[in-house]
């Protein structure tokens, strides 16, 4: 329930935050895509059934809610006023990003979630840039501006890690992990790799 | 539930692809109108909050007056007045409330304030762009540096005619003069050519100065890079040209310029409302 409210808030607020606040800041290099960051950070928390929490079996539930969050947020970013690109471009990219995040990062330490969030954010930004160049004729230099990519990936990792660390101690009845393992950012990822 | 969870991502990706295809074939204007209705208001509120927090609210009346004075100045600067109008423009002032990544910005005046598509937008420095579409309370402006923008222009001194297009990655503009043997040198000022019925661009709005002339000995046009006057990353208050001053009002405005602070914009608003009702 809380996750649903959060999702609606993200869909409503993130595009506004993006165009009215973030894009107006004078940051060096570019601006982070806060909509993508929000999707990537929130999608792993949208698993509908806690009991399917084990290793993601092929085709098992999970990912659907993340994909839906991504689609809705992406569509919102597609139509929120100053946008003038092909509708559906961000919806497609973020739908896939939300789905991947929900499938892969639903369990795991803060470090693993951060790593997954960063990887997915990187992939989604690059895919979005390629789509922008192909569909809307955006020059490649602006579509794949390295500054903007770096901001987005960094912020995604940071927010995902913060979200994974904060509420786990309070609710959701998950098994609390020892602080040491959740502090080591690459432990889980390295083992899997 | 599980089946839905399995199929939903593929379905949503398909819907997105369908949206892309549909928008490529025929622009989905209703969806964009819905977007500006929902998110325009939110952006307006967010931006107003930010401005209020930075204590700029008390300046708004001065800003409105400033917009009107800038329009008068622009009209007075015109070197070759056309017979259609000579005594200024009806204008609306607007704040830039959102920056997009497609070479567009949102301003906080929309069709309720008489703003419609293809109207000129400029600020104290120079040309900003044109209105791309307008929602009820907000409008989207295509900046002069956007990759899709092309603006009729001329050199202020020699009156040579050309076309200005955006070079978005460098924040510059490219001027292509129709006359391949035209004289152009760094430092020349570039102004708008003006369009029929003053839409999308009114004439003689300063665009920028030539910084480098591109060497192209056997080209059909002569091209130069132009640095725009307007600072597109720090836009705040802009002026939208709604149209020519109506004949009667033009005389009034030039007679009593000092006393009518908000009068002009009020007249403009009531005028546009009447036009809508008719």
Q: What is the CATH number of the domain that holds B164?
A: 2.40.10.350
The total of structural domains in chain B comes to 1
Domain of residue A119, residue span: 18-48+61-169+179-192
In this predicted model, what pLDDT tens digit does every residue of A90-142 receive, in sequence order? 999 999 998 888 888 666 777 888 888 889 999 999 999 998 888 887 778 77
Q: What are phi and psi of B230, to 5 degrees?
A: -70, 140
pLDDT of residue A124: 92
Domain-located, residue A54:
no
Domain-located, residue A152:
yes
Residues β-bridged to residue B153: B162, B192
Instruction: Please give the share of chain A, as a percent, with pLDDT higher than 70.
Output: 75
Domain-located, residue A5:
no
Does residue A75 surpass a pLDDT of 50?
yes
Domain-located, residue A2:
no
Domain-located, residue B276:
no
Does residue A26 surpass a pLDDT of 80?
no
Domain-located, residue A11:
no
pLDDT of residue B141: 92
B98 shares contact with chain A (CB less than 8 Å) = yes
Residue among A13, A92, A137 minimizing CB distance to B20: A92
> Are B145 and B232 contacting, i.e. CB atoms less than 8 angstroms apart?
yes
Does residue A167 surpass a pLDDT of 70?
no
Partner B, chain A 51-80, Cβ-Cβ below 8 Å? 59-65, 67-68, 70-71, 74-76, 78-80
pLDDT of residue A62: 62
B158 shares contact with chain A (CB less than 8 Å) = no
Look at A15-19, A34-38, B271-275 and tell me which has the smallest mean pLDDT: B271-275
DSSP-derived pairing of the beta strands B222-228 and B172-177 = antiparallel
Given pLDDT bands bounded at 50, 70 and 90, which one contains residue A146? confident
pLDDT of residue B22: 86
CA A155 – CA A150 distance, rounded (Å)? 8
- Nearest CA to B152 out of B91, B220, B199 is that of B199
Radius of gyration of chain B (CA): 21
Domain-located, residue B262:
no
Domain of residue B207, residue span: 150-228
The two most distant CA atoms of chain A are separated, in Å, by: 50
pLDDT of residue B243: 81
Burial of residue B106 (number of CB atoms within 10 Å: 0-12, 13-18, 19+): buried
The total of structural domains in chain A comes to 1
List Cβ neighbours of A127 (8 Å cut-off, separation of 6 or more). Answer: A93, A96
pLDDT of residue B263: 39
- Nearest CA to B67 out of B133, B121, B21 is that of B121
Using 70 as the pLDDT threshold, list the residues of chain B that sit under it.
Answer: 1-6, 55-59, 76-87, 168-169, 217-219, 246-278
- Residues of B with CB below 8 A from A152's CB? none
Does residue A156 surpass a pLDDT of 80?
yes
DSSP-derived pairing of the beta strands B172-177 and B104-107 = unpaired
Residue B117 to residues A86, B92, B166, B239, B265: CA-CA distances in angstroms?
19, 14, 20, 14, 19
Cβ–Cβ contacts within 10 Å for residue A75, how many?
A: 26
CATH number for the domain harbouring residue A71: 1.10.1760
Domain-located, residue A8:
no
Tokens at residue A49, please?
A: 């059934």
């Amino acid at each position: 329930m809380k996750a649903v409210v959060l999702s609606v808030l993200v869909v409503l607020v993130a595009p506004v935050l993006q165009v009215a606040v973030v894009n107006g800041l004078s940051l060096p290099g570019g601006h982070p895509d806060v909509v993508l960051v929000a999707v990537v950070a929130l999608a792993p928390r949208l698993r509908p059934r806690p009991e399917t929490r084990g290793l993601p079996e092929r085709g098992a539930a999970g990912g659907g809610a993340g994909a839906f969050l991504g689609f809705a947020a992406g569509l919102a970013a597609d139509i929120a006023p100053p946008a003038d690109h092909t509708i559906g471009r961000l919806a497609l990219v973020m739908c896939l990003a939300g789905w991947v995040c929900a499938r892969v990062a639903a369990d795991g330490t803060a470090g693993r979630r951060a790593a997954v969030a960063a990887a997915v954010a990187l992939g989604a930004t690059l895919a979005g840039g390629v789509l922008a160049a192909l569909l809307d004729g955006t020059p490649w230099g602006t579509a794949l501006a390295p500054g903007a990519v770096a901001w987005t990936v960094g912020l995604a990792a940071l927010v995902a890690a913060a979200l994974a660390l904060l509420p786990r101690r309070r609710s959701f009845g998950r098994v609390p992990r020892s602080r040491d393992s959740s502090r080591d950012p690459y432990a889980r990822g390295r083992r899997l790799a | 539930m599980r089946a839905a969870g399995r199929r939903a991502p593929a379905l949503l990706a398909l819907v997105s692809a369908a949206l892309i295809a549909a928008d490529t074939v025929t622009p989905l204007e209703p969806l964009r109108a819905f977007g500006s209705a929902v998110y325009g208001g939110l952006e307006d509120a967010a931006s107003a909050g930010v401005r209020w927090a930075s204590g700029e609210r008390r300046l708004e009346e001065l800003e409105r007056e400033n917009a009107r004075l800038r329009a008068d100045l622009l009209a007075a600067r015109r070197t070759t007045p056309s017979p259609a109008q000579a005594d200024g423009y009806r204008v609306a002032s607007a704040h830039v409330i959102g920056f997009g990544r497609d070479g567009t910005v949102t301003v906080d005046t929309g069709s309720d304030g008489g703003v419609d598509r293809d109207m000129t937008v400029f600020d104290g420095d120079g040309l900003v762009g044109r209105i791309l579409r307008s929602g009820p309370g907000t409008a989207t402006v295509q900046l002069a540096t956007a990759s899709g923008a092309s603006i009729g222009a001329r050199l202020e001194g020699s009156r040579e005619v050309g076309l200005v297009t955006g070079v978005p990655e460098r924040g510059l503009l490219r001027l292509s003069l129709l006359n391949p043997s035209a004289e152009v040198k760094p430092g020349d000022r570039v102004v708008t050519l003006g369009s029929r019925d003053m839409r999308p661009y009114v004439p003689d709005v300063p665009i920028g100065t030539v910084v480098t002339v591109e060497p192209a000995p056997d080209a059909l046009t002569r091209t130069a890079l132009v640095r725009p006057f307007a600072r597109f990353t720090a836009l705040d208050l802009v002026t939208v040209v709604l149209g020519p001053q109506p004949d009667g009002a033009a005389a009034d405005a030039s007679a009593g310029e000092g006393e009518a602070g908000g009068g002009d914009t009020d007249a403009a608003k009531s005028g546009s409302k009447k036009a809508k009702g008719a």
